[in-house]
Amino acid sequence: MPSKFLIHIMPKESVLDPQGVAVLQALNHLGMKSALSVRVGKAIELEWDGPADPADPALNQICRDVLSNPVIEDYSIEVVR
């Protein structure tokens, strides 16, 4: 079975995330006062022909150059299997 990664992509702290703000406002509106901050990113499931090594340079290259835009986003790699 091929390896599998879950790539988490989040807007950088310095980038305005109006979507997160809107979700937070909705949660607060529902009375969820415990919700303090929301930021919305995305997750990409990737099956990979190779070892489940999150430090793999080729894997990191596609995360940096394709799956995320380093100007506005940070990524992290989670090994699923």
Partner 1 sequence: MIRCAVVQFPGSNCDRDCVAALESFDGVAARLVWHKETSLSGYDVIVLPGGFSYGDYLRCGAIARFSPVMHAVRQAAHNGRPVLGICNGFQILCEAGLLPGALVRNRSLNFICRHIHLRVETSASLFTHGISRGAVLQIPIAHGEGCYFADADTLARLNENQQILFRYCDSSGAVTPDSNPNGSLESVAGICNEKRNVLGMMPHPERVCDPLLGGTDGRRIFDSVFASLASGADPSATAL
Q: Whose CA is closest to 42, among 81, 79, 3, 11? A: 11
State the nearest-atom distance from the C-beta of 71 to partner 1, in Å.
4
Shortest distance (Å) from residue 18 CB to partner 1: 5
By beta-carbon proximity to partner 1, the closer residue of 13 and 55 is: 13
- Per DSSP, helices labelled H in 3-66 are 18-29, 57-62
Q: At closest approach, how far in Å is the CB of 56 from partner 1?
A: 21
27 binds partner 1 (CB under 8 A): no
